[in-house]
């Protein structure tokens, strides 16, 4: 995947026409691999090797009694019909569909508001929205877990004071929403910064020209800013696909305070963790992780494809 | 713009090359990883001579010890003073499960495992099944049998008499209760579970904000302890691959009907323990008792300071008042990892740390551990302690008396983590949701049986 920030619909070719008659061509060709070698070595060791090892592991089954046996694709056929895995994937997909649009919309609104220059204390606000991202998700989950508390949490306390029914944020029906709230709180600022940075790169001449043509602030936002934001929005969307499907920290921590709602297979990632460290089924965990990776690749690709298709009518 | 581009052909070549290389690397890694597992058997255990021991203890050696006990350096210093040639490096690798996870990883990798490790009683079988612990009999551990409380020795012994670890502290179960709440509502300290259930109903009726107790829906250890008290034998192993799983037998059903019934009636709490909400609840008097273990009194006096002076301790209510019994919850041991290069020194350390009178006493006075040695449980300075948090009651004496009523035949499965997770998602969930706990026990049984069979065990029920 390559990122180019120039939004040319046809995609500009990077390599220009070959310049003929340069004597150093062959020497250059032999020096090239040397320059990329450090990257390739790291890429191989840190990225491909673990991936390959996981793929290798997923073809075996190790049992507490009887040792390790080669089982081929058995783990994969098992996972594809494993309700715990499928429910986990389904749940994060639902989470993605609900949480991500909300979060990106909020991020977009904040970014536009900050970019408009109409806000007082813009820097303070910008920092304020971004700060939750600096809070480790573990801390954030613990904090929200406390806020959600049904007896002594502040929301419950206020509800009790006003003699209103106490909302049970940690119940089965609310849980996904409670998780979405934590994740949104954490990542709105992060996405806002990306969008805001993209807004700052738009040449001001465009605004001036639009103003000359009689466009108001809303019109400028709709017709200039939003189209220019498309690449950045797509980027945040892709990050969100990956983040949502890998949902782990937040449910893992809320599990301590709501063990009857968040099961060990609540999300697919949590399931892989449980398999490896609770059930000692390392091989099956590798299979589940691999399949989850595949799901993420497909989902990312689908997002890209729909976005690109919409661009070229 | 984002686009997945097709790579030009030259780099495609090299990509294939890299993939092959990656495959080879990972294969190699896997093979070395596999080579180390499944070590030798423990059948022959020849005693080590005293001369060998003396020699080893005078040879300069460095040992690594994984433990989560705070300030354990004080006890370790006693050992180093006696054996100046030996240096012990103390590492805190996390408490409980996180440490076990690291240990399993190190064992699998074949390097990085410590020489000695702190391990809870219930986790011992999950490490003996993988042949990871050293049998301490050849190093004189069998001679310590009478130093420790009888039931602890049963917990650290293997089916063929192996000694897998040396007991450090224990957690015989009792009941801490709020004298003030009992007085206010005219409740007598219940001595049987029937009285307990009546008191639960009476108290909650009198004050809907207060519950007699909380049975945490995430605390399988408490459930196991209560099962232990009731005489349950949920897991019985014979040989290495045979296991009898009976978490749904008559005893379990009795417990399930009792606690499930109280939870369904809503007269006890079922919230997860050791959470912020739970600490608040204890501080604010939401619960009138805490069914806990011998480590509970010190723990509570630290975490529910607002209630100082109001708590008292008593034995657990009984199923059969004529035969008082209790179970154990928590406590840990020191084990030696089989892969150690210095088995003699490591084994001597494990023994010294927990059986040397000065060291054992230090655990009771410095870390406030509930002792595992018989000597300390009759030591006047230990059992005579009368903390003001408990209104001057001799709490240690109460639990020392309870310790002698713990049955010694309770066993743990070699896949406890799985059993715990399955419990939380079946029995625990039924308690939290107020659904049929007796039926949830059946689900627990079948989930566990399926797992055990898949892991290659021969399962009886």
Dump pLDDT digits (tens) for A113-170. 998 888 888 889 999 999 999 999 899 998 999 999 888 889 999 998 999 888 899 9
Nearest to A259 among B19, B101, B428 (CB): B428
Which are the contacts of A245, defined by CB distance < 8 A and separation ≥ 6? A89, A92, A93, A96, A268, A269, A292, A295, A296, A299
Report chain B residues whose CB lies below 8 A from the CB of A45. 25
Nearest-by-CA chain A residue for B426: A260
A238 contacts B2? CB cut-off 8 A: yes
- 3-state DSSP assignment of residue B65: strand
What is the reported pLDDT for A23?
52
Task: Tell me the H-state helices in B327-436.
Answer: 343-355, 357-366, 374-377, 380-383, 395-403, 416-423, 429-433
What confidence tier does B239 reach under pLDDT thresholds 50, 70, 90?
Answer: confident
Nearest CA of chain A to the CA of B449: how many Å? 13
A260-274, B13-27, B36-50: range with highest mean pLDDT: A260-274
* Confidence (pLDDT) at A299: 93
Shortest Cα distance from B419 to chain A (angstroms)?
A: 9
Q: CB-based contacts of B186: which residues, under 8 Å, 6+ apart?
A: none
Residue A187 reports pLDDT greater than 70: yes
- Percentage of the residues of chain A whose pLDDT score is greater than 90: 65
pLDDT band at A306 (very low <50, low <70, confident <90, very high): confident
pLDDT at B353: 97
Q: Is the pLDDT reported for residue A11 higher than 90?
A: no
**Distance separating alpha carbons of residues A265 and A263, to the nearest angstrom:** 5
Cβ–Cβ below 8 Å for B421 and A264? yes
**A57 confidence band (pLDDT: 50, 70, 90):** very high
Size of interface A-B (CB pairs under 8 A): 144
In chain B, what residues touch A271 (CB-CB under 8 Å)? none
The tokens for A182 are 């934590």
**CA of B260 to nearest chain A CA: how many angstroms apart?**
15
Nearest-by-CA chain A residue for B241: A65
Whole-angstrom distance, CA of residue A72 vs CA of residue A80: 14
Q: Which of residues 142-201 of A touch B (CB under 8 A)?
A: 145-146, 149-153
pLDDT digits (tens, 9 = 90+) for B104-139: 999 989 999 999 999 999 999 999 999 999 999 999
Half-sphere exposure of residue B279: CA atoms within 13 angstroms, side-chain side: 13
pLDDT number for residue A119: 83
Q: Write the pLDDT tens digit of every residue in B408-447.
A: 999 999 999 999 999 999 999 999 999 999 999 999 999 9
Q: Which residue has the tokens 């939750």?
A: A132
Question: Measuring CA to CA, which residue among B101, B72, B103, B108 is closest to residue B89?
Answer: B72
Average pLDDT value for residue range A257-285: 93
Contact A63 B433 (CB under 8 A): no
Which positions in chain B touch A44 (Cβ < 8 Å)? 18, 21-22, 25
A264 touches chain B (CB under 8 A): yes
Does the distance separating the beta carbons of A44 and B18 come in below 8 Å? yes
> Which residues neighbour B9 within 8 Å (Cβ) at sequence distance 6 or greater?
none
Helix (H) or strand (E) holding B177: strand B173-178
Interface test with B, best of A15, A49, A172, A271 (most B CBs within 10 A): A49
Residue keyed to tokens 């020096």: A31
- Number of other CB atoms surrounding residue A279 within 10 Å: 20
CA angle A168, A174, A178 (to 5 degrees): 95
- Looking at residue A24, its pLDDT comes to 56
Distance CA A278, CA A264 (A): 9
Q: Is residue B229 a contact partner of residue B326, using CB atoms and an 8 Å limit?
A: yes
Is B4–A153 a contact, with Cβ atoms under 8 angstroms apart?
A: no
Interatomic CA distance for residues B54 and B44, integer angstroms? 22
Which chain A residue has its CA at the smallest distance from B275's CA?
A257
Task: Specify the DSSP class assigned to residue A266.
Answer: S
- Tokens 């009999």 correspond to what residue? B137
Strand partners, B175: B291, B314
Q: Which two tokens stand for residue B438?
A: 């007796």
Compute φ and ψ for B160, nearest 5 degrees: -100, 20
**Mean pLDDT (chain B, rounded):** 90
Q: What span, in angstroms and rounded, lies between the C-alpha atoms of B318 and B35?
A: 51
Mark yes or no for CB contact B424/A150 under 8 Å. no
Strands A2-3 and B2-3: antiparallel
Average pLDDT score, chain A: 87
Q: In angstroms, what separates the C-alpha of B277 from chain A's closest C-alpha?
A: 6
Nearest CB to A64: which of B274, B432, B456? B456
Beta bridge partners of A267: none
Provide the pLDDT for residue A25.
57
Q: Using a CB-CB distance cutoff of 8 angstroms, which residues of chain B are in contact with residue A280?
A: 104, 415, 417-418, 455
CA A9 from centre of chain: 26
Confidence (pTM): 0.85
d(CA A302, CA B2) in angstroms, rounded, equals: 12
pLDDT at position A67, please? 86
Which of A49, A234, A260 comes nearest B433 by C-beta? Answer: A260
Residue B22 reports pLDDT greater than 50: no
Residue B12 has pLDDT above 50, yes or no: no
CB B292 within 8 A of CB B219: no
Handedness of CA A226, A228, A234, A239 (dihedral sign): negative
* Banded pLDDT at A312 (limits 50, 70, 90): low
How high is the pLDDT of residue B10? 34
Contact B182, B306 (CB under 8 A): no
Q: Is the pLDDT of residue B195 over 50?
A: yes
B424 neighbors B315 (Cβ within 8 angstroms):
no
Given a cut of 80, whether residue B39 has pLDDT beyond it is: no
In the predicted structure, residue B18 carries a pLDDT above the cut 60: no
Q: What is the pLDDT of residue B317?
A: 98
Q: What is the mean pLDDT of residues B229-235?
A: 96
User: Which pLDDT tens digit goes with each residue over B288-307?
Assistant: 999 999 999 999 999 999 99
Query: What is the pLDDT at residue B143?
Result: 94
For the stretch B375-395, pLDDT in tens is 999 999 999 999 999 999 999
What pLDDT band is residue B36 in, cutting at 50, 70 and 90?
Answer: very low
- Rounded-to-integer distance, Cα B216 and Cα B274, Å: 9
A197 has pLDDT over 80: yes
- Which contiguous run of DSSP H or E holds residue A122? helix A122-134
Residue B328 predicted with pLDDT over 60 = yes
């Amino acid at each position: 995947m390559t990122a180019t920030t120039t939004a040319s619909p046809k995609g500009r070719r990077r390599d220009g026409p070959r310049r003929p008659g340069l004597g150093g061509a062959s020497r250059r060709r032999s020096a090239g691999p040397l320059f990329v070698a450090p990257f390739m070595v790291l890429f191989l060791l840190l990225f491909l090797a673990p991936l390959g090892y996981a793929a290798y592991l997923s073809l075996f089954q190790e049992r507490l009694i009887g040792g390790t046996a080669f089982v081929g694709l058995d783990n994969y056929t098992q996972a594809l019909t494993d309700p715990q895995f499928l429910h986990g994937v389904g749940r994060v997909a639902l989470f993605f569909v609900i949480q991500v649009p909300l979060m990106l919309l909020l991020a977009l609104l904040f970014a536009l508001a900050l970019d408009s220059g109409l806000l007082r204390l813009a820097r303070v606000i910008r920092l304020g929205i971004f700060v939750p991202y600096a809070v480790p998700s573990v801390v954030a989950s613990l904090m929200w877990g406390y806020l959600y508390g049904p007896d002594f949490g502040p929301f419950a306390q206020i509800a009790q004071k006003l003699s209103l029914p106490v909302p049970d944020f940690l119940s089965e029906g609310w849980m996904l929403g409670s998780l979405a709230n934590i994740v949104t709180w954490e990542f709105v600022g992060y996405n806002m910064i990306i969008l805001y940075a993209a807004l700052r790169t738009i040449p001001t001449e465009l605004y001036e020209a639009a103003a000359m043509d009689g466009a108001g602030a809303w019109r400028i936002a709709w017709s200039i800013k939003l189209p220019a934001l498309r690449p950045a929005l797509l980027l945040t969307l892709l990050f969100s696909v990956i983040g949502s499907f890998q949902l782990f920290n937040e449910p893992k921590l809320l599990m301590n305070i709501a063990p009857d709602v968040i099961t060990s297979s609540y999300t697919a990632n949590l399931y892989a963790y449980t398999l490896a460290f609770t059930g000692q089924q390392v091989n099956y965990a590798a299979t589940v992780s691999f399949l989850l990776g595949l799901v993420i690749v497909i989902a990312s690709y689908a997002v890209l494809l729909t976005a690109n298709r919409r661009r070229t009518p | 713009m984002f686009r997945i581009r097709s790579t030009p052909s030259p780099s495609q070549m090299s990509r294939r090359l890299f993939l092959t290389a990656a495959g080879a690397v990972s294969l190699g890694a896997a093979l070395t990883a596999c080579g180390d597992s499944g070590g030798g058997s423990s059948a022959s255990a020849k005693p080590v001579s005293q001369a060998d021991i003396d020699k080893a203890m005078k040879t300069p050696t460095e040992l690594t010890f994984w433990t989560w006990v705070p300030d354990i350096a004080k006890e370790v210093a006693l050992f180093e003073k006696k054996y100046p040639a030996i240096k012990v490096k103390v590492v805190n690798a996390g408490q409980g499960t996180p440490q076990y996870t690291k240990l399993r990883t190190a064992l699998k990798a074949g390097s990085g495992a410590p020489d000695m490790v702190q391990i809870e009683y219930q986790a011992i079988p999950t490490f003996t099944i993988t042949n990871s612990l050293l049998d301490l009999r050849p190093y004189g551990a069998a001679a310590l049998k009478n130093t420790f409380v009888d039931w602890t020795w049963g917990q650290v012994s293997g089916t063929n008499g192996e000694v897998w670890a040396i007991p450090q502290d224990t957690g015989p179960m009792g009941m801490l209760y709020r004298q003030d709440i009992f007085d206010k509502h005219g409740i007598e300290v219940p001595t049987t579970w029937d009285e307990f259930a009546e008191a639960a109903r009476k108290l909650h009726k009198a004050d809907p904000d207060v519950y007699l107790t909380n049975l945490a829906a995430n605390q399988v250890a408490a459930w196991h302890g209560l099962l232990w008290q009731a005489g349950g034998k949920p897991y019985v192993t014979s040989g290495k691959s045979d296991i009898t799983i009976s978490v749904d037998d008559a005893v379990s059903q009795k417990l399930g009907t009792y606690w499930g019934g109280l939870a369904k009636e809503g007269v006890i709490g079922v919230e997860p323990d050791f959470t912020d909400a739970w600490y608040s609840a204890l501080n604010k008097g939401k619960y009138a008792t805490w069914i806990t273990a011998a480590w509970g009194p010190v723990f509570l006096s630290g975490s529910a300071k607002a209630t100082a002076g109001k708590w008292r301790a008593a034995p657990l209510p009984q199923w059969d008042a004529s035969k008082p019994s209790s179970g154990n919850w928590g406590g840990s041991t020191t084990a030696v990892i089989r892969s150690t290069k210095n088995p003699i020194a490591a084994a001597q350390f494990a023994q010294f740390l927990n059986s040397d009178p000065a060291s054992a006493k230090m655990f009771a006075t410095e870390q406030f551990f509930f002792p595992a040695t018989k000597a300390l449980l009759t030591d006047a300075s230990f059992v005579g302690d009368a903390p003001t948090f408990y209104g001057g009651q001799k709490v240690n004496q109460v639990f020392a008396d309870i310790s002698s009523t713990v049955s010694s035949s309770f066993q743990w499965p070699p896949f406890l983590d799985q059993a715990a997770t399955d419990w939380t998602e079946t029995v625990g969930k039924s308690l939290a949701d107020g659904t049929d706990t007796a039926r949830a026990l059946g689900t627990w049984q079948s989930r566990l049986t399926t797992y055990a069979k898949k892991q290659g065990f021969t399962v009886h029920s």
